[in-house]
Chain A
Amino acid sequence: MIKINNLNFGYRKNQLLFKNMSMQLSTGHIYGLLGKNGAGKSTLLKNIAGLVYADSGSMDVMGYDPSKRQPALLAEICFIPEEFYLPSVKIDAFVKANAGFYPNFDHPYFTALLAEFDIPVAQKLIDMSYGQKKKVIIAFGLATQAKLVIMDEPTNGLDIPSKAQFRKIMASALTDDRCIIISTHQVRDLDNLIDTVIMLDENKVALKASVEEITNKLCFKRVKEIDDKVIYAEPSLAGYNAVLQNFHDEDSKLDLELLFNAVLAEKNKLKPIFN
C-alpha cells in the first residue's frame, strides 16, 4: 500500500530529518510508529499524507504520489492530526459539509461510534472539550471508510475509559484492505493493539518488525542479575526488567516501553538480530 524509497527530508537544507529512508507498509496491519521527541514521527506521517514534500526519493501511496494531493487519493486517506480545528457548528452540519467528499461514508457507523464515545451530539463542536472533539474527528475519520488511516497521537486528551474504547474501536476497524498507522509517545496506549512496530531514530528506521517477530527473536522477562545474555535491562522492584535474545523459543509478552528504550540504548546489539 505504501512504498517509501530513499526518502530524504529536512525542514532545513543542511539538517536532514530522514536520510535515504526506505520502507514498505501493507494492508491488514496496524503499525505503531514510535520515536523520541523530534525523531520525525509526525513528519513521516505528513510525508505519507502529502502535507510536506520530500527533498528527494519517492513515495507511493496506493499507486499515487501523495504530494500531488489528488482527490482520488485524499478520499482514501483519513488523517487524524494531533492539533486540529473544528468549526463552530453542530455535528450534523459538520457531517453534511464534509461527508459528501467521501463516497463510502458510513452514516450509521458514524452514529454508532458517537454513541460508543458518548458524544453529546446536540452540542456545538467548538463548545466540546479537546477529548470530545478528538473522539468526533476519530469517529468521522473511521466512518469515511478510508483505506489508509493515519493517526498522530490519537490518545492525547482521551480519558482512561476513552483510551480503552479507542483500542477496542481501532481493533474492530482493521480490515484486510485497510492500513492503520498510529504514532504515539504513549506506548502503553498501543498495548495489544498494534501488530507491527516501527521505531525512528537518528534519521532512519531503527526497527520495523511485527510483534510476532519481535517476541520470536527477543524475550522480555524479569531477571535477578544481569549477565552477558541480557541485551538491555532496567531496574525494577524485584530485580531487573530485561530484554534478552530468545534462544529457547520462550513465550513472553512484548513490553513496548522496554523495547523502545532498548532500541535507543543498544541499537548495535539489536541490529544484527533483526537483519
Chain B
Amino acid sequence: MNNTFSIQRFGLLLKRQWLEFGKIYLITLAVALGVIITFYSFATWNTIFEQRLFSERLLNFREPLFLIFGFLFITVIASSYFAHLGQKSKAIIDLMIPASTFEKFLTGVLFTAVLSTVSFLVIFYLTDLAFVSKLRSIFHNVDTATSFRDSYGKVVETRDNLAFFFTRNYPKEFTSVFLLTPVFVTSIFLLGSIYFNKFHYIKTAISVMIFSGIWTYIIVKTGQTMFDNKIPINTGNGENISKGLIELGMFSLLLLLTAIFWVITYVRLKEKQV
C-alpha cells in the first residue's frame, strides 16, 4: 500500500470531505449568490422595472463588489476548511481516517484554492451576464460615446452598444499575477484555519495585518537606509525594465509565498495533536 498518495484513497477522501464540508460550502455559496443578486437588483431595479434613463454609472459597483466580496468569499471558505481540527470531537475522527496527511492536505487545497475561486467566478459571471443582458435588451438603442485624446493628440471618439460592460477592466497586463492572487490569499487563510484553534478568520486577518505592517516597515526602513542621500542615475522611471520582467518577478514572489504557506500548512497538519 502506498502510504503517501493513492488516487483511489484521494477520490474517497474528496467524497468524504464533500459530505462534511459540502453543506457549509453550498450554504456559503448560496449566501454569496444572494448578496450578488441583491446588489445588482438594488442598482438596476429602477432602470429595468421603471424604465428610468440609462446611466453609464449604473453598474459602477461591479468591480468593488467582485474584489471585496470575492475576497471575503474565498477567505471565509479557506478559513473554515481545517477549523474543525480545533475541536477534539471532530479532530479525532478526521485524523483517524485512513488517508495520508498529503492526501488530506491536497483535498484542502483543491476545495479552497480551486473550487471556491472557480465557483465564485461562475456565480458572479452568470449573475452579471443575466443583468447586463437584460439591460442590453431594454436599451438596445442606447449608444455609449467615449471620446479621448490619443498619444498623437488626436481626438478619438468611440461608440458602442453597451458593449463596454463586457470588455472593460479585463486585465491585459499582469494576468498571471491576477490569476495567482486568489490561490495566494486562500493559502494564507487555509494556514490560519489549522494554525488557530478558535476565531480562525479574525485571528488570521489580524496576523496578516501585523505581518504586512512589519514587512512594510522593514522595506521602507531598508530603502531609506540604502538610498538616503543618494542620487538616482537612471531617470527613465523604470521604463527600461520590461513589464514582462516585473510580472515574472511578482508572479514568482506570490508563487514562492503560496508554496511557503502550503508547506507550513502541511507540516501543521502532520503535527496536529488532539
Contact = CB atoms under 8 A, between A and B. Distances in A.
Interface of A: 46, 49, 51-53, 68-72, 74-75, 77, 79, 81, 83-89, 93-94, 96-98, 100-102
B98 A85 contact: no
Nearest to B84: A85
Nearest to B96: A79
B89 A97 contact: no
B274 interface: yes
B100 A53 contact: no
* A-B residue pairs, 8 tightest by C-beta: A74-B98, A75-B98, A70-B3, A83-B89, A85-B89, A97-B16, A101-B98, A85-B90
Nearest to A72: B1
Nearest to B87: A85
B3 A71 contact: yes
Contacts of A53: 271, 273
Contacts of A100: 12, 15
Given A69-B100, A81-B88, A97-B19, 11 more contacts: A51-B273, A71-B9, A74-B96, A74-B97, A79-B96, A83-B89, A84-B89, A85-B87, A85-B89, A85-B93, A87-B20
Interface string B70-95: 00000000000000100111101101
Nearest to B103: A71
Contact of B19 (A52, A71, A87): A87
A177 B96 CA distance: 21
B93 A81 contact: yes
A49 B96 contact: yes
Contacts of B101: 69
B98 A102 contact: yes
Contacts of B1: 71-72
B135 interface: no
Contact of A93 (B19, B92, B99): B19
Q: Max chain B CB contacts within 10 Å: which of A77, A86, A94, A101?
A: A101
23 contacts: A51-B273, A51-B274, A52-B273, A53-B271, A53-B273, A69-B95, A69-B101, A71-B100, A72-B1, A72-B3, A74-B98, A79-B96, A81-B88, A81-B93, A85-B87, A85-B89, A85-B90, A87-B19, A97-B12, A97-B15, A101-B12, A101-B97, A101-B99
B23 interface: yes
Nearest to A53: B273
Most buried by A among B88, B98, B274: B98
B166 to A, nearest CB: 42
A8 to B, nearest CB: 15
Interface in B5-31: 6, 9, 12, 15-16, 19-20, 23
A97 B18 CA distance: 9
Interface in B39-98: 84, 87-90, 92-93, 95-98
A52 B274 contact: yes
Contact of A101 (B9, B88, B95, B274): B9
Contacts of A74: 96-99
Interface string B94-117: 011111110000000000000000
A265 to B, nearest CB: 32
Contacts of B84: 85
Contact of A88 (B23, B93, B273): B23
